Structure 1
Amino acid sequence: MNRLNGRTLHSRRLFLQLGGVAAAGVLIPVACAVRASCAGHVGETVDRAWDGSFTDAFALLRRNWRDVMAGSGFDAAAEPYRKRLAALGRTAARHRDAMAPTVTSLWPDLAFPSFIRIPARLLAMARAYVLPGTGVTGDASLGAAVAAGIDHYRRHVYVAGADPVGNWWDWEIGVPKRLLDAAVLIGSHLTDEQGGALAKAVDHFVPECRLDDYSGTSTGANRVDLCTVTLLRAALGSDPGRAALAVAALAPVFSYVDEGDGFHRDGSFLQHTRVPYQGGYGAVLLTGVATLLAVLRGSPWEIDNRSRQFVFDLVEKSFAPFVHDGFCMDVVRGRGIGREPYGDHRRGREIAAAILLLSEAAPARERIRWQGMVKGWAVPDSGRPMLKAALNSDLGFHARLASIMTDDAIPAAGEPTGHRLFPSSARAVHRGPDWCAALSMASSRVAHYEYGNGENLRGWHTGSGMLCWWAGDGHGDQYSDGYWQTVDPYRLPGTTVSTRRLPDGAGEEWGETCPPARWVGGATDGTYAMIGQHLHGFESSLEAFKSWLFLDDAVVCLGAGITCADGVPVETVVDNRRTDATLIVHEAAGWAHLEGHGGYVLPAQAGGGRMHRLREERKGDSTTRSYVTLWLDHGVDPASAGYVYLLLPGASPARTCARASDAGWVRVLANTARRQAIQVPSLGITAVNFWNAGTVGGLTADGPCAVLVREIGDGTATLTVSDPRCDLSGLTVTWDRPVAGVHPSPVDDLVSVTTGDRLTLTFGRLADLAGSSTTVTVRMS
């Protein structure tokens, strides 16, 4: 649920002028009046086209809605659908028979008023009414009971003219969406009088002018939900003008934004202005848009090709990078990370379901690729098997997923290796051959954490360089099975934190917890990455400079300038695994290994630091879980402390020992508050985070930036540069190596190249790239 952010970007008149309802030339104009419904709101006339009657159009819309929302595409007489449908029918009949309306109740077993459970129960009954094989399909008494329940709730709770109490979302999205959904499904069982009264109530809480401006709580996922409510309201009253408004008001969702809520060009999705949210509001938005595309198909309000393609592009740009083995990574789930065990798997299923529904409207190339991708997610999802879970939630999704799972012509696609950096949301995802990691940071543009509605009250340090990772098979539930309910919130993996105690819900609600640091991000060529965070501790005097070099089989982790005056110890948490696996520690040799998970190395360059360890049982609510924690203690009030360690996901004890014994495998060239630089000779990599201008490892930069150099071995090299601060109007980077030329030529207009005894790259306004990287390939002399 969003809160006001004060931005007004688009008016409704502009939406209508944009023509975001149908592709040009498809429709024959027919005038439909969009009526005013707010004081001072000016009605407008919208020209729409349709070569049939609007009676037919709304019949099609309602039929499509039933097929998409109730489910279709399966044989109701075949298992496992027969048993599941029969169970739905028995439940619906039981609810029908138990209904006992009074002024203060609809069912004796449910509190009244209930903004969630009562509307949800009515909707479940309506779905049993329209689905085949339930035993109450088309049952008049069930349809009448749903209609009576909707009207009872409308008269005693959702009352036209009443003042909404509590969360705005319940009144404008949650309640009307479920009531209207149920009303559309049961059709004529809701009398004209009842339907008119429900429409009047919806118009009171969600008037047409609610869609006038793309601002406040009417952005991103909330905007899609409000448009869905408006479309259902149009279907209830066969109102073509309102249907046109619902679709036209989606227009801002189908455009990239430069700040705040919505999709950014690097694939980031933010809601509440500063919170990365593909695994929450983003999944809701994707589901909503996929639903609307399917429902509006063939109608006079069909969404145009440009908008459809915008959404299709987001599948692999914004969502797929954060799904691993069927679950959605917690680094983009905002305050929802601790909402429920296995909530990450539920969000992963929602994203997968939306993608399969979208695929039905996508070109063949995308459809085939997405089906293989979703199948690849479902096959290893052992924490909560996707196909089994779908049967209990969405029969239409189950039918689509079952179809591709049993189709040998659709191979399960593996997740692509390499690196994806999302500068606009301070997130990064890296995939090696058999492992995956996700990094969560905070900046002046991205919140430390979000809490609200009493959720995620101890998520303070999730933006302090939290590094979650998964390796091999069997650990897909590492952060799912009670992790956030039991983990020590001061020892999240990868973070550097002051151990100063914090109150629950410290800081501002809804993501208003941004630190002052602007240098957050890094350079990536798509395979490797050098990422950095200028860390300011949450409600602390802590300051640190953290860097991560992501490689094929390792992450090199550096910290420098760790300074604090809180009067308490400062720690860097190497890892905090929910496991009771065997831990082997060879302190003298500088390495440790956690059975079935991976290895950890403290190189000699770490300065003799000691890796502390703790095995404990932790309780939360009624949940108890086993943990192994590894950390580095920087002492009380450190002054410019540092660290170096290697994370080896999936490594065996032998490989961990070998890496620890190979003193030259990684070379730390600098680890200070001015520069952090790493060389990996075997990979031809030199990587530098220039916190300030300077020289190191043969590289010189005249401003703060990130540089990643790869000498390929075929006579070429790549230099990748970025401006993580997003403020450089110019930058010069020099590599002290002889270079014959640029390959290929010419390079981007943003950079000019001088070759010879040394390479000089002169960049223009890197700030315009919003933190994204630029790569130049050269031929070595």
Structure 2
Amino acid sequence: MELSRRALLSMVPASALLALADPLRARAAAAPRDPATGRGARGHLPAQPGGDLARLIDNTVAVLAGTAEVDARPEVAGKVSAITGAAQDHLDAMDAAGDGELFQGLGDLDTSDRNLTKSFQYLYEVALATRTPADDNPLHGNEAVQRRVIDGLTWLYDHYYGDQSKGYYGNWFNWEIGISQQVSKVLVLLRDQLAAYRPELAATYVAAMDGYLRNGKDGDVDLDSRFHTGANLADITTDRIMQGAALGDDARVSKAVADQLTVLATIDPYRLQHGVTDGFYADGSFIQHASVAYTGTYGTGLLSRVVQTLKILDGTAYLPQDDMAGVVRRWVVDGFAPVIFEGWMMEVVKGRGMSREKSGYRDATTVVEAVSDLAAHSSGDDATALKGYVKFVRESARAPLDPTAFVSPVTVARYADILADDSIPARDLRDASYTTAFNAMDRTVHHRPGWSFALARSSDRISKYEYMSGENLKPWFQGDGAHYLYLSGQDQTHAFGVDYFTAVSPYRLAGVTAPVETRKTIPELYGTQWYDNPDAGFTASSEKQNTYVYFPCGTDSHSGGATLGSYGTASLVLSDDVAYAAKQAGRLPDDFVAYRNARATKSWFLLDDEIVVLASGVHDPAGRAVTTTVDSRIAAESDAVSLTGCLRDATRWRGPGTAPLAWLRYANADEKTAVGYVFLDSPDVPRGPRPTVTLDTVSRSRRDVNAANPDTRITKQVFSVVFEQPPGAPTTTLACALVPGATERQLRRYAHGPLRVLANTPDVQAIGHARLGLLAANTFAPGTHIAGHLAVDGPASALVRRGGDGITSVAVSDPTTERDTVAITLRGRSLRPVSADDGVRITRLPGATRIEVTTRHSYGRSFVARLR
């Protein structure tokens, strides 16, 4: 019987394979190449690198460990100290390790894939210190320590990694990516030492890593695999580039580079390659896990890996001739810059990562690191703009960015040089005022001087939330119109991050309409971190688990909006998720728990001084009570929070409770922040429901929202403004405006304009703003809907602005992504076209102007016309 490589690896320990080193070395030079790949047979000793491979190895070592010149710089001392300090801690832990441990405290390696991965990580961090050429680094070049690392690799292989019949438990990511990341770096860093001390170990490990690539094909990347996409594909291919360098395997490097280049392609949802929806879209959206808005976590990982590839391939023939750096620059401008506010990565693009203790400043630090390196691979105005953005993020961040968190000492030096360069002005990559509609991932971001607003939507295309691995335990409404209003000058860890989700009720996140009920987390429902039912197709990372448990989409297609210059609309039809729909259709097991949602039609109008929010048809089909939260904000227990307001009868508001408010002002004197809330009349509901205002002190553990968080208890003041509907109540219509930084004087003025709600029904929602000359509408049903002087063939979103120069600008979009054409009619005058986007047709009518837009395959983007 012929044994496969995988079977062989499961039977023979590394120590036995090392005994074969001498005869294999003799055969290595004459070994045949695979005619299909040009690659040497697995198990052969590493070839001696030359030319491009040698440059690749040198580049990789420099990226990870720095150079003597760089590491001697005072700005890099903190990074070097972090490297050497971590290594010494790990060596001490090796000395204190007990039975079944390589490092003290990391036991249960035959059942804990997390501890096994950490063991490999610690070996890498020790190896890294021995290659970090700082003068005051006692570990640099220490062969005894390097041999301890190599012995540690051998021990882990012999006892826990080499036997693949026992391995691959827990999370697939650790086996296909996590462990391989650490091992691959060690193989490059200690290549010469491995050749002299354990010459077969590198080839043995590479063969094992191929064997563990079980979601691939024949031990290699499979571009048709749902696991080999986006950031995961970049991780795997970067590992394989380093493995090829360690083995002197040119073909392996070339194949890995070619595979990684596929992540640079802009995703066209109408012409998917390999069925992959993960990656960057034309509007700057980034998706991972097929349907999760993920710029802030997986997106930063992809950015980091691709820029790292640029660095390690620099000066070699492996670096593609195409403008790889140019593609990545567009990611930064269109995808990352809009979702960073004063150095903070916004919550709406972080998936389950929003529940982690890692702050938004740390997430943005990864972007700053990549941009610092990207600037070095750019020239002219591009380089200047990128360097200016690095300085802008650093200067605008309200918490210091920590360059010791950078991967490379070389980047720390580059970052220091950028900050010290007085010829580079600190400048954002975007204007101070703009709106970005990330309709491909159901997100909208609105920036103004002093504040930014981020909105999370969902649809039958994009997930309502992401839960996985015990992280983000209470996510149910995070994609149902949850919003985040960031105020300038504030340390955002005091306003958002993990403490916001810990302190604020998951049913009362800002912007959310939710039924009043108590839901259970996945571990509470099933006793495990997933729904475990293999007979029904549910295993830890099965497609059913993803679809119905980890990141379910909604069931309505309407989620989108339009942008016109720096103004925007957004709209959403609140729906059940696909799990509830499948359960009702009898497609899920009886013990699978699915929750029903409330109903509402909602719009957001994004202006200069305010965000106008309309909701209509708010009710619950099951007859439950419903809450619609206007806003929820947190503050420190000791902060001086004040609430002032005015009733509709112009008398002073007396304090928390339910009241007929005309406006309300929240202020935090310690943070020097304020937000105003104006409660508007709808045409058919001149006196809307009364909001309830609360200010409570809440104490909870961060572990309540993420099982991986330490059991850290936090205490916060939680302020909320909520509309409450009792059980069985008729449908409700709501209208309000959020006014960031508002004074009481400013809020009083809204009684006389300039805002007016023109329509607020389940079919059409619209506002007019007299000072801006703006009319904005979202329509939700087929047919013609009238809002002021605008008739809209719905469903559609439209913005019309009459400028002082006599130009009327119009923007139109299809928020469902399903329509071939959309038409609107401007009534009152016949206007002639000045300019129009492709796909826009303008017809002059008696006393009106009709604008028809071909929206087929536009994926929700806005079409603009200018008329006179």
Change over 3 Å in CA distance of 1:54–1:126 after alignment to 2:
closer
1:559 maps onto 2:615 in alignment:
yes
Give the equivalent residue in structure 2 for 1:486.
503
Residue identity over aligned pairs, in percent, reads 29
1:282 maps onto 2:338 in alignment:
no
Comparing 282-291 and 150-159, the one that deviates more: 150-159
Q: Select which of 266, 275, 279 maps to 1:262.
A: 279
Change over 3 Å in CA distance of 1:76–1:748 after alignment to 2:
closer
Distance (whole Å) between structure 2 residues aligned to residue 74 and residue 759 of structure 1:
71
Q: Which amino acid aligns with 1:514?
A: C
Count of residues in correspondence between the two structures:
730
Give the equivalent residue in structure 2 for 1:683.
772
Give the equivalent residue in structure 2 for 1:669.
758
1:522 maps onto 2:578 in alignment:
no
Q: Secondary structure at the match of 1:709?
A: strand
Give the equivalent residue in structure 2 for 1:593.
665
Change over 3 Å in CA distance of 1:300–1:394 after alignment to 2:
closer
Distance (whole Å) between structure 2 residues aligned to residue 91 and residue 751 of structure 1:
60
Deviation string 1:381-422 (CA, Å, 9 cap, x unpaired) is: 223x11x35368653333222222222211211452110001
Deviation string 1:600-654 (CA, Å, 9 cap, x unpaired) is: 1112446243221111222222222221111111332343211010100122222
Q: Which amino acid aligns with 1:237?
A: L
Deviation at 1:701, TM superposition (A): 2.4
Q: Which amino acid aligns with 1:533?
A: L
Equivalent residues in 2 for 1:262-341, closer than 5 Å: 262-341=279-358
Give the equivalent residue in structure 2 for 1:401.
415
1:702 maps onto 2:793 in alignment:
yes
Deviation at 1:500, TM superposition (A): 2.0
Equivalent residues in 2 for 1:26-105, closer than 5 Å: 43-45=36-38, 55-71=50-66, 75-82=70-77, 85-86=80-81, 88-96=83-91, 98-100=93-95, 104-105=100-101
Give the equivalent residue in structure 1 for 2:8.
none
Distance (whole Å) between structure 1 residues aligned to residue 797 and residue 677 of structure 2:
26
Change over 3 Å in CA distance of 1:732–1:62 after alignment to 2:
same
Distance (whole Å) between structure 1 residues aligned to residue 688 and residue 837 of structure 2:
45
Contact 1:296 1:303 in 2 (8 A): no
Distance (whole Å) between structure 1 residues aligned to residue 732 and residue 93 of structure 2:
66
Equivalent residues in 2 for 1:432-511, closer than 5 Å: 432-477=448-493, 478-480=495-497, 482-505=499-522, 509-510=545-546, 511=550
Distance (whole Å) between structure 1 residues aligned to residue 773 and residue 403 of structure 2:
46
1:197 maps onto 2:204 in alignment:
yes
1:548 maps onto 2:610 in alignment:
no
Change over 3 Å in CA distance of 1:379–1:764 after alignment to 2:
closer
Deviation at 1:87, TM superposition (A): 5.6
Change over 3 Å in CA distance of 1:34–1:160 after alignment to 2:
farther
1:358 maps onto 2:353 in alignment:
no
Q: Which amino acid aligns with 1:529?
A: G
Deviation at 1:356, TM superposition (A): 1.5
Give the equivalent residue in structure 2 for 1:611.
691
Distance (whole Å) between structure 1 residues aligned to residue 362 and residue 738 of structure 2:
29
Comparing 637-646 and 323-332, the one that deviates more: 637-646
Contact 1:74 1:81 in 2 (8 A): no
Change over 3 Å in CA distance of 1:315–1:35 after alignment to 2:
farther
1:348 maps onto 2:358 in alignment:
no
Comparing 92-101 and 283-292, the one that deviates more: 92-101
Give the equivalent residue in structure 2 for 1:17.
none
Equivalent residues in 2 for 1:743-754, closer than 5 Å: 743-744=834-835, 747-754=836-843
Q: Secondary structure at the match of 1:223?
A: helix
Give the equivalent residue in structure 2 for 1:431.
447
Give the equivalent residue in structure 1 for 2:425.
411
Deviation string 1:93-119 (CA, Å, 9 cap, x unpaired) is: 453355257872212332242233212
Distance (whole Å) between structure 2 residues aligned to residue 56 and residue 445 of structure 1:
47
Give the equivalent residue in structure 1 for 2:13.
none
Q: Which amino acid aligns with 2:797?
A: A
Deviation at 1:743, TM superposition (A): 1.0
Comparing 715-724 and 113-122, the one that deviates more: 113-122
Distance (whole Å) between structure 2 residues aligned to residue 35 and residue 572 of structure 1:
66
Q: Which amino acid aligns with 2:621?
A: A
Distance (whole Å) between structure 1 residues aligned to residue 621 and residue 212 of structure 2:
51
Equivalent residues in 2 for 1:112-131, closer than 5 Å: 112-113=108-109, 114-131=115-132
Give the equivalent residue in structure 2 for 1:144.
147
Contact 1:523 1:773 in 2 (8 A): yes
Change over 3 Å in CA distance of 1:87–1:764 after alignment to 2:
closer
TM score, norm. by length of structure 2: 0.80
Deviation string 1:153-212 (CA, Å, 9 cap, x unpaired) is: 222222154441111110111001111102211232223122222222222213765313
Q: Secondary structure at the match of 2:71?
A: coil
Q: Which amino acid aligns with 2:858?
A: L
Distance (whole Å) between structure 1 residues aligned to residue 32 and residue 352 of structure 2:
38
Deviation at 1:685, TM superposition (A): 0.6
Comparing 332-341 and 144-153, the one that deviates more: 144-153
Contact 2:355 2:497 in 1 (8 A): no
Contact 1:66 1:185 in 2 (8 A): yes
Give the equivalent residue in structure 1 for 2:102.
106
Deviation at 1:127, TM superposition (A): 1.7
Q: Secondary structure at the match of 2:161?
A: coil
Comparing 455-464 and 699-708, the one that deviates more: 699-708
Give the equivalent residue in structure 2 for 1:39.
none
Distance (whole Å) between structure 2 residues aligned to residue 765 and residue 171 of structure 1:
47
Q: Secondary structure at the match of 1:769?
A: coil
Comparing 719-728 and 351-360, the one that deviates more: 351-360
Comparing 585-594 and 324-333, the one that deviates more: 585-594
Q: Which amino acid aligns with 2:146?
A: G
Change over 3 Å in CA distance of 1:143–1:230 after alignment to 2:
same
Comparing 195-204 and 170-179, the one that deviates more: 195-204
Distance (whole Å) between structure 1 residues aligned to residue 823 and residue 406 of structure 2:
58
Deviation at 1:541, TM superposition (A): 4.6
Give the equivalent residue in structure 2 for 1:132.
133
Q: Select which of 671, 679, 682 maps to 1:602.
A: 679
1:763 maps onto 2:852 in alignment:
yes
Contact 1:34 1:242 in 2 (8 A): no
Change over 3 Å in CA distance of 1:684–1:34 after alignment to 2:
farther
Deviation at 1:54, TM superposition (A): 5.1
Distance (whole Å) between structure 2 residues aligned to residue 759 and residue 296 of structure 1:
60
Contact 1:734 1:758 in 2 (8 A): no
Equivalent residues in 2 for 1:2-21, closer than 5 Å: none
Q: Secondary structure at the match of 1:156?
A: helix
Distance (whole Å) between structure 2 residues aligned to residue 87 and residue 286 of structure 1:
24
Equivalent residues in 2 for 1:167-178, closer than 5 Å: 167-178=171-182
Q: Select which of 237, 240, 249 maps to 2:259.
A: 249
Q: Select which of 180, 183, 187 maps to 1:183.
A: 187
Deviation string 1:729-757 (CA, Å, 9 cap, x unpaired) is: 2232111032341113xx33412111254
Q: Secondary structure at the match of 1:249?
A: helix
Deviation string 1:227-280 (CA, Å, 9 cap, x unpaired) is: 011111101111001001101112321212234212211111111111000011
TM score, norm. by length of structure 1: 0.89
Structure 2 gaps, min length 5: 1-30, 40-47, 110-114, 270-276, 526-530, 532-543, 578-594, 651-661, 668-672, 702-712
Structure 1 gaps, min length 5: 1-32, 37-41, 47-52
Contact 1:34 1:245 in 2 (8 A): no
Q: Which amino acid aligns with 1:591?
A: W
Distance (whole Å) between structure 1 residues aligned to residue 54 and residue 118 of structure 2:
29
Give the equivalent residue in structure 2 for 1:20.
none
